[in-house]
Amino acid sequence: VICYNVPSRTGVDMTLETYQALSKHPNIQGVKEAGGSPAKIAKTIETCADDFFVWSGNDDEAVTAMALGAKGLISVLSNVAPKQTHDMCAEFFKGNIEASRRIQLKAMPLIEALFSEVNPIPVKAALNLMGKNVGEPRLPLTVMEPQHQEVLKKAMQDFGIL
């Protein structure tokens, strides 16, 4: 089991003490941490069991999280840019931090556009723009606002995936 901490969606932020307790459970392997706190990532890695892993849950913090000891990224960006997301992590783990950092920085406008509305609205819009024809989100979600879609389209073009 991998826990998922996403306080922006749940209104609850899992505590370090909770992670420490969960890290002792044999079926819990770690956490996808999307709380936005590099300090919490560092403390979790430092104080939890050695076989309790942290993955970044925020695309815009991937390199930072890996620098603190995260095992990688569970990603939204990878839905539309899988190779680049893979390369960002692979370069980091090969020790080529500069290449990883460059990919992260180049992806930032696209990441921002992918989070301009509630997921999966922007991802579906991006995949549709790429010709994947994944359809519209199901209610209660709606199609992406036209002004956000224009920003998304430009970010995709600038990133080289459209």
Task: Kindly list the catalytic residues.
Answer: 4, 32
CB 159 within 8 A of CB 110: yes
| Neighbour count for residue 133 (Cβ, 10 Å) | 7
Taking the C-alpha atoms of residue 53 and residue 30, their distance in angstroms, rounded to an integer, is 4
Distance between CA atoms of residues 8 and 69, nearest Å: 23
C-alpha distance across the termini of the chain, in Å:
35
**Non-local CB neighbours of 85 within 8 Å, separated by 6+ positions:** 59, 73, 75, 77, 78, 107
Task: Report residue 99: phi and psi, to 5°.
Answer: -65, -40
145 Cβ partners below 8 Å, 6+ apart?
Answer: 117
3-state secondary structure of 60: helix
